[in-house]
Chains A and B, each alone.
Chain A
Amino acid sequence: MSRDGRLAVGLVQMDPALGDRARNLERHRQWVQQAAEAGVELLVFPELSLTGYFLKDLVAESAIPLEGAVMDELRSLSSGLDVVLGAVIEEPDHRYFNASLYFSQGELVHLHRKVYLPTYGMFDEKRYFAAGDRFRSFKTGFGRAGILVCEDIWHLSSAYILSLEGVDMIICPSSSPGRGVTTDERLGTAESYGILCRTYAQFLTSFFLYCNRVGYEDGANFWGGSMVIGPNGDIIAQQEDADEALVLANLDLGDVRRERLANPLLRDERLELTINELRRVWHERTRKPY
Chain B
Amino acid sequence: MSAPASLTEPVFPPLRINPELVRGILVGFIRNEVRKVGFERVVLGLSGGVDSSLVATLATEALGPKNVVAFIMPYTTSDPKSKSDALQVVQQLGIHQLEIDISPQVDAYFQHFPDADQKQRGNKMARERMSILYDQSWAWRALVIGTSNKTELLLGYGTIYGDMASAINPIGDLYKTQVWQLADALGVPTSIVQKAPSADLWAGQSDETELGFQYRMIDQLLYYLVERRYTVEELKRVGFDEAFIEEIVRRVRDNQYKRRLPVIAKLSSRTIDRDFRYPRDWGH
| Interface set of A (CB-CB < 8 Å, partner B) | 17-20, 54-58, 178, 181-187, 215-219, 221, 242
Contact = CB atoms under 8 A, between A and B. Distances in A.
Given A216-B28, A216-B33, A221-B29, A18 B279 contact: yes
A184 B279 contact: no
A221 B28 contact: yes
B16 A183 contact: yes
Nearest to B13: A183
Given A183-B18, A185-B18, A17 B279 contact: no
A271 B3 CA distance: 66
Contacts of A182: 14, 16-18
A219 B33 contact: yes
Contact of A178 (B25, B276, B278, B279): B25
B32 interface: yes
B278 A57 contact: yes
Size category of the binding interface on chain B: 20 to 34
Given A181-B21, A183-B17, A215 B279 contact: no
A96 to B, nearest CB: 15
Nearest to A23: B283
Contacts of B284: 17-18, 20
Interface string B64-87: 000000000000000000000000
B260 interface: no
B16 A57 contact: no
B241 to A, nearest CB: 27
A19 B32 contact: no
A215 B284 CA distance: 11
A183 B229 CA distance: 21
A19 B282 CA distance: 6
A215 B36 CA distance: 11
A187 to B, nearest CB: 7
Contacts of A184: 18, 21
Nearest to B24: A242
A218 B276 CA distance: 16
Interface string B246-284: 000000000000000000000000000000111111111
Nearest to B26: A221
B226 interface: no
A217 B29 CA distance: 9
Contacts of B24: 242
B186 interface: no
A218 B21 contact: no
A96 B283 CA distance: 20
A18 B37 CA distance: 12
Nearest to B170: A219
A18 B281 contact: yes
16 contacts: A18-B279, A18-B281, A19-B279, A56-B278, A57-B278, A181-B17, A181-B21, A182-B18, A183-B17, A185-B21, A187-B21, A216-B29, A216-B33, A219-B168, A221-B29, A242-B28
The 7 closest A-B pairs by CB, nearest first: A216-B32, A56-B277, A218-B280, A183-B16, A18-B281, A57-B277, A54-B279
A61 to B, nearest CB: 10
Contacts of B281: 18, 54, 216-218
Contact of A17 (B277, B278, B280, B283): B283
Given A58-B279, A181-B25, A186-B21, 4 more contacts: A183-B16, A216-B33, A218-B279, A242-B24
A218 B29 CA distance: 9
A155 B120 CA distance: 54
A20 B29 contact: no
A155 B281 CA distance: 30
A59 B276 CA distance: 12
B116 interface: no
A18 B281 CA distance: 7
Nearest to A178: B25
B272 to A, nearest CB: 11
B15 to A, nearest CB: 9
Nearest to B14: A182
Contacts of B33: 216, 219
